[in-house]
Amino acid sequence: MPRDLDLDLENNRERETASPPTLSESPNRMSGPSSPEPTKAFTINSMSSSKVTGNLHPYVRPLTISDLDSCEALENSAFSEVERASREKLRYRLTKCGELCIGLFTTVVPSPKCLQSPTLGAARLVESCRDDGAVSVMLGHVVSSKTTSPTCTDASMDYPKDWESTIGDVKKGQDDLSGHGAIGHQEQGRTVVLHSVAIAPGFQGRGMGGVLMKSYISSIAGSGVADRLALLAHEEKVEWYEKLGFVSKGPSAVKGCGGNWIDMVYEVKKPEARARYG
Protein backbone atom coordinates (compact mmCIF):
# COMPACT_ATOMS: atom_id res chain seq x y z
CA MET A 1 0.00 0.00 0.00
CA PRO A 2 1.28 3.52 -0.71
CA ARG A 3 2.11 6.01 2.00
CA ASP A 4 -0.54 8.52 3.04
CA LEU A 5 -0.32 11.01 0.16
CA ASP A 6 -1.27 14.09 2.16
CA LEU A 7 1.50 13.42 4.68
CA ASP A 8 3.94 12.46 1.95
CA LEU A 9 3.30 15.68 0.06
CA GLU A 10 3.62 17.72 3.25
CA ASN A 11 6.98 16.21 4.22
CA ASN A 12 8.47 15.92 0.75
CA ARG A 13 7.24 19.04 -1.03
CA GLU A 14 10.68 19.83 -2.38
CA ARG A 15 10.88 16.45 -4.12
CA GLU A 16 7.85 17.13 -6.27
CA THR A 17 8.25 18.11 -9.88
CA ALA A 18 7.19 21.56 -11.07
CA SER A 19 3.93 20.14 -12.43
CA PRO A 20 1.61 17.33 -11.30
CA PRO A 21 1.32 14.22 -13.44
CA THR A 22 -0.99 14.71 -16.36
CA LEU A 23 -2.61 12.66 -19.08
CA SER A 24 -4.25 14.05 -22.15
CA GLU A 25 -4.99 13.30 -25.74
CA SER A 26 -4.47 14.63 -29.23
CA PRO A 27 -7.26 16.73 -30.77
CA ASN A 28 -10.03 15.57 -33.06
CA ARG A 29 -12.94 17.38 -34.68
CA MET A 30 -16.61 17.10 -33.86
CA SER A 31 -19.61 19.38 -33.44
CA GLY A 32 -23.28 19.32 -32.58
CA PRO A 33 -25.84 19.67 -29.76
CA SER A 34 -25.61 18.00 -26.38
CA SER A 35 -27.52 14.89 -25.34
CA PRO A 36 -29.65 14.19 -22.22
CA GLU A 37 -27.89 14.32 -18.88
CA PRO A 38 -26.44 11.04 -17.56
CA THR A 39 -28.60 8.88 -15.30
CA LYS A 40 -25.85 7.48 -13.08
CA ALA A 41 -23.65 9.39 -10.70
CA PHE A 42 -21.40 8.88 -7.72
CA THR A 43 -21.04 10.92 -4.55
CA ILE A 44 -18.06 13.26 -4.35
CA ASN A 45 -16.31 13.02 -1.01
CA SER A 46 -15.40 16.25 0.74
CA MET A 47 -11.75 17.19 0.44
CA SER A 48 -9.44 18.57 3.07
CA SER A 49 -7.60 21.64 1.85
CA SER A 50 -5.89 22.93 4.98
CA LYS A 51 -2.47 21.47 4.18
CA VAL A 52 -2.07 22.31 0.55
CA THR A 53 -4.21 25.22 -0.59
CA GLY A 54 -3.89 28.14 1.81
CA ASN A 55 -6.97 30.38 1.60
CA LEU A 56 -8.35 29.00 -1.66
CA HIS A 57 -10.97 26.78 0.05
CA PRO A 58 -11.37 24.48 -2.97
CA TYR A 59 -14.20 22.02 -3.44
CA VAL A 60 -14.93 19.24 -5.90
CA ARG A 61 -18.10 18.40 -7.80
CA PRO A 62 -19.14 16.34 -10.83
CA LEU A 63 -18.74 18.06 -14.18
CA THR A 64 -21.52 18.76 -16.67
CA ILE A 65 -21.62 20.05 -20.22
CA SER A 66 -21.91 23.58 -18.78
CA ASP A 67 -18.27 23.23 -17.65
CA LEU A 68 -17.01 22.72 -21.20
CA ASP A 69 -15.43 26.17 -21.57
CA SER A 70 -13.52 25.81 -18.30
CA CYS A 71 -12.33 22.31 -19.18
CA GLU A 72 -11.12 23.49 -22.57
CA ALA A 73 -9.27 26.45 -21.04
CA LEU A 74 -7.60 24.15 -18.54
CA GLU A 75 -6.56 21.61 -21.19
CA ASN A 76 -5.12 24.31 -23.43
CA SER A 77 -3.07 25.81 -20.61
CA ALA A 78 -1.88 22.59 -18.99
CA PHE A 79 -0.93 20.48 -22.02
CA SER A 80 0.91 20.76 -25.30
CA GLU A 81 -1.06 20.77 -28.54
CA VAL A 82 -0.11 17.14 -29.14
CA GLU A 83 -1.36 15.91 -25.78
CA ARG A 84 -4.37 18.07 -24.96
CA ALA A 85 -7.93 16.87 -25.51
CA SER A 86 -9.87 18.84 -28.09
CA ARG A 87 -13.04 20.75 -27.29
CA GLU A 88 -15.01 18.21 -29.31
CA LYS A 89 -13.63 15.25 -27.39
CA LEU A 90 -14.28 16.99 -24.08
CA ARG A 91 -17.84 17.74 -25.18
CA TYR A 92 -18.40 14.08 -26.03
CA ARG A 93 -17.23 12.91 -22.61
CA LEU A 94 -19.02 15.57 -20.60
CA THR A 95 -22.21 14.73 -22.48
CA LYS A 96 -21.98 10.93 -22.43
CA CYS A 97 -20.37 10.34 -19.04
CA GLY A 98 -20.02 13.62 -17.17
CA GLU A 99 -20.94 11.79 -13.97
CA LEU A 100 -17.51 10.12 -14.16
CA CYS A 101 -15.73 13.48 -14.42
CA ILE A 102 -14.96 15.84 -11.55
CA GLY A 103 -13.64 19.36 -11.23
CA LEU A 104 -11.73 21.19 -8.52
CA PHE A 105 -13.11 24.71 -8.02
CA THR A 106 -12.74 27.73 -5.79
CA THR A 107 -15.03 30.76 -5.39
CA VAL A 108 -13.56 34.21 -5.97
CA VAL A 109 -14.79 37.77 -6.38
CA PRO A 110 -13.27 39.11 -9.62
CA SER A 111 -10.89 42.01 -9.06
CA PRO A 112 -7.42 43.12 -10.22
CA LYS A 113 -5.99 41.41 -7.13
CA CYS A 114 -7.91 38.13 -7.33
CA LEU A 115 -6.21 34.86 -8.21
CA GLN A 116 -4.96 34.56 -11.76
CA SER A 117 -5.97 31.36 -13.51
CA PRO A 118 -6.23 30.52 -17.22
CA THR A 119 -9.77 29.36 -16.46
CA LEU A 120 -10.92 32.63 -14.88
CA GLY A 121 -12.38 33.92 -18.14
CA ALA A 122 -14.60 30.84 -18.39
CA ALA A 123 -15.77 30.99 -14.76
CA ARG A 124 -19.50 31.09 -14.11
CA LEU A 125 -21.45 33.03 -11.49
CA VAL A 126 -21.90 31.17 -8.23
CA GLU A 127 -25.33 32.68 -7.66
CA SER A 128 -27.11 35.15 -9.89
CA CYS A 129 -28.45 37.07 -6.88
CA ARG A 130 -25.05 37.81 -5.33
CA ASP A 131 -24.10 41.47 -5.49
CA ASP A 132 -20.35 40.82 -5.41
CA GLY A 133 -20.36 38.89 -8.70
CA ALA A 134 -18.52 35.91 -7.20
CA VAL A 135 -17.62 33.20 -9.70
CA SER A 136 -16.65 29.54 -9.49
CA VAL A 137 -13.16 29.08 -10.97
CA MET A 138 -11.90 25.67 -12.10
CA LEU A 139 -8.44 24.82 -10.76
CA GLY A 140 -8.28 21.19 -11.86
CA HIS A 141 -10.23 18.33 -13.36
CA VAL A 142 -10.34 14.59 -13.94
CA VAL A 143 -12.05 13.62 -17.21
CA SER A 144 -12.94 9.95 -17.62
CA SER A 145 -15.07 7.38 -19.43
CA LYS A 146 -15.63 3.62 -19.17
CA THR A 147 -14.34 0.69 -21.20
CA THR A 148 -14.75 -3.09 -21.21
CA SER A 149 -10.98 -3.56 -21.46
CA PRO A 150 -8.87 -3.98 -18.29
CA THR A 151 -6.42 -1.32 -19.53
CA CYS A 152 -6.44 1.69 -21.84
CA THR A 153 -6.74 1.02 -25.56
CA ASP A 154 -6.62 3.22 -28.63
CA ALA A 155 -10.36 2.58 -29.04
CA SER A 156 -11.18 3.64 -25.49
CA MET A 157 -9.11 6.81 -25.90
CA ASP A 158 -11.04 7.79 -29.03
CA TYR A 159 -14.69 8.69 -29.63
CA PRO A 160 -17.23 7.70 -32.33
CA LYS A 161 -17.54 10.52 -34.86
CA ASP A 162 -21.27 9.82 -35.30
CA TRP A 163 -22.02 9.72 -31.58
CA GLU A 164 -24.73 12.38 -31.71
CA SER A 165 -26.70 10.49 -34.34
CA THR A 166 -26.57 7.28 -32.27
CA ILE A 167 -27.61 8.65 -28.87
CA GLY A 168 -30.05 6.16 -27.39
CA ASP A 169 -28.82 3.34 -29.63
CA VAL A 170 -26.42 1.66 -27.20
CA LYS A 171 -25.51 -1.20 -29.54
CA LYS A 172 -24.74 0.70 -32.71
CA GLY A 173 -21.03 1.04 -33.34
CA GLN A 174 -20.05 -1.77 -30.99
CA ASP A 175 -18.14 -4.77 -32.28
CA ASP A 176 -20.26 -7.15 -30.22
CA LEU A 177 -22.75 -7.07 -27.35
CA SER A 178 -19.95 -6.90 -24.78
CA GLY A 179 -18.64 -3.68 -26.32
CA HIS A 180 -15.20 -5.23 -26.84
CA GLY A 181 -13.22 -3.16 -29.31
CA ALA A 182 -15.88 -0.46 -29.51
CA ILE A 183 -14.81 3.17 -29.71
CA GLY A 184 -15.31 5.63 -26.88
CA HIS A 185 -17.37 5.37 -23.70
CA GLN A 186 -18.91 1.95 -22.97
CA GLU A 187 -21.53 2.25 -20.25
CA GLN A 188 -21.44 -1.50 -19.55
CA GLY A 189 -17.68 -1.41 -18.93
CA ARG A 190 -16.20 -1.96 -15.49
CA THR A 191 -12.97 -0.05 -16.08
CA VAL A 192 -12.88 3.73 -15.68
CA VAL A 193 -10.32 5.27 -18.05
CA LEU A 194 -8.80 8.53 -16.80
CA HIS A 195 -8.12 10.55 -19.94
CA SER A 196 -7.04 13.80 -18.34
CA VAL A 197 -5.73 14.66 -14.88
CA ALA A 198 -4.86 18.35 -14.78
CA ILE A 199 -4.12 21.22 -12.39
CA ALA A 200 -4.00 24.77 -13.73
CA PRO A 201 -0.55 26.33 -14.15
CA GLY A 202 0.13 28.59 -11.19
CA PHE A 203 -1.54 26.14 -8.79
CA GLN A 204 0.72 23.18 -9.42
CA GLY A 205 3.17 21.92 -6.81
CA ARG A 206 0.74 22.57 -3.92
CA GLY A 207 -0.46 18.98 -3.58
CA MET A 208 -3.82 19.69 -5.21
CA GLY A 209 -3.38 16.93 -7.78
CA GLY A 210 -2.89 14.31 -5.08
CA VAL A 211 -5.85 15.48 -3.02
CA LEU A 212 -8.08 15.60 -6.09
CA MET A 213 -7.07 12.08 -7.12
CA LYS A 214 -7.60 10.69 -3.63
CA SER A 215 -11.08 12.17 -3.58
CA TYR A 216 -11.81 10.70 -7.01
CA ILE A 217 -10.55 7.22 -6.12
CA SER A 218 -12.56 7.20 -2.90
CA SER A 219 -15.71 8.31 -4.71
CA ILE A 220 -15.41 5.65 -7.40
CA ALA A 221 -14.76 2.97 -4.78
CA GLY A 222 -17.80 4.00 -2.79
CA SER A 223 -20.10 4.15 -5.80
CA GLY A 224 -19.56 0.60 -7.06
CA VAL A 225 -19.61 1.75 -10.70
CA ALA A 226 -16.26 0.17 -11.59
CA ASP A 227 -13.81 -2.58 -10.67
CA ARG A 228 -10.68 -0.66 -11.61
CA LEU A 229 -9.21 2.62 -12.82
CA ALA A 230 -6.82 2.73 -15.77
CA LEU A 231 -4.63 5.47 -17.18
CA LEU A 232 -1.53 6.13 -19.25
CA ALA A 233 1.56 7.75 -17.78
CA HIS A 234 5.03 8.69 -18.91
CA GLU A 235 7.90 6.98 -17.12
CA GLU A 236 8.71 9.99 -14.94
CA LYS A 237 5.16 10.05 -13.53
CA VAL A 238 4.88 6.35 -12.66
CA GLU A 239 6.14 6.76 -9.09
CA TRP A 240 3.63 9.53 -8.39
CA TYR A 241 0.73 7.31 -9.38
CA GLU A 242 2.18 4.36 -7.48
CA LYS A 243 1.96 6.46 -4.31
CA LEU A 244 -1.78 6.64 -4.95
CA GLY A 245 -2.05 2.86 -5.25
CA PHE A 246 -1.77 2.42 -9.01
CA VAL A 247 0.31 -0.49 -10.31
CA SER A 248 2.46 -0.33 -13.44
CA LYS A 249 1.54 -2.93 -16.05
CA GLY A 250 4.47 -2.09 -18.29
CA PRO A 251 4.60 -0.49 -21.74
CA SER A 252 1.17 0.22 -23.22
CA ALA A 253 0.01 -0.84 -26.66
CA VAL A 254 -1.62 2.58 -27.07
CA LYS A 255 0.17 4.53 -29.81
CA GLY A 256 -1.75 7.81 -29.62
CA CYS A 257 -0.16 11.11 -28.59
CA GLY A 258 3.32 9.94 -29.48
CA GLY A 259 3.22 6.59 -27.71
CA ASN A 260 5.82 5.54 -25.12
CA TRP A 261 3.13 5.23 -22.47
CA ILE A 262 3.05 3.04 -19.37
CA ASP A 263 -0.21 1.30 -18.45
CA MET A 264 -1.24 2.06 -14.86
CA VAL A 265 -4.10 0.25 -13.12
CA TYR A 266 -5.78 0.74 -9.75
CA GLU A 267 -7.91 -2.18 -8.54
CA VAL A 268 -10.89 -0.72 -6.72
CA LYS A 269 -11.43 -2.13 -3.27
CA LYS A 270 -15.03 -2.94 -2.49
CA PRO A 271 -16.45 -1.03 0.49
CA GLU A 272 -16.53 -3.11 3.65
CA ALA A 273 -19.96 -4.30 4.64
CA ARG A 274 -21.32 -2.31 7.54
CA ALA A 275 -22.92 -4.08 10.47
CA ARG A 276 -26.64 -3.49 10.84
CA TYR A 277 -28.17 -3.03 14.25
CA GLY A 278 -31.73 -3.05 15.40
pLDDT band at 30 (very low <50, low <70, confident <90, very high): very low
- Section 263-276 average pLDDT: 79
Determine the Cα–Cα distance for residues 203 and 53; give it in Å rounded to an integer: 9
CATH number of domain containing 19: 3.40.630.30
pLDDT above 70 (res 139): yes
Helix (H, G, I), strand (E, B) or coil at 66: helix
12 part of a folded domain: yes
**pLDDT of the residue at 221:** 94
165 part of a folded domain: yes
Determine the Cα–Cα distance for residues 28 and 15; give it in Å rounded to an integer: 36
pLDDT band at 276 (very low <50, low <70, confident <90, very high): low
The answer for residues whose C-beta is within 8 angstroms of residue 274's C-beta and 6 or more apart is: none
Determine the Cα–Cα distance for residues 261 and 249; give it in Å rounded to an integer: 11
130 part of a folded domain: yes
Determine the Cα–Cα distance for residues 52 and 159; give it in Å rounded to an integer: 35
**pLDDT of the residue at 273:** 55
Q: Which domain holds residue 186?
A: 5-267
**Side-chain-side CA neighbours of residue 2 (13 Å):** 19
pLDDT above 80 (res 36): no
**Least confident window among 10-19, 49-58, 110-119, 124-133:** 10-19
241 part of a folded domain: yes
**Least confident window among 7-11, 23-27, 50-54, 190-194:** 23-27
Enter the pTM of the model: 0.75
Q: Tell me which of 114 and 275 has the higher pLDDT.
A: 114
Q: Tell me which of 228 and 56 has the higher pLDDT.
A: 228
273 part of a folded domain: no
How many structural domains does the chain have? 1
126 part of a folded domain: yes
277 part of a folded domain: no
Residues paired with 104 in a beta bridge: 60, 140
- Section 18-25 average pLDDT: 40
Q: Tell me which of 220 and 5 has the higher pLDDT.
A: 220
- Section 38-58 average pLDDT: 51
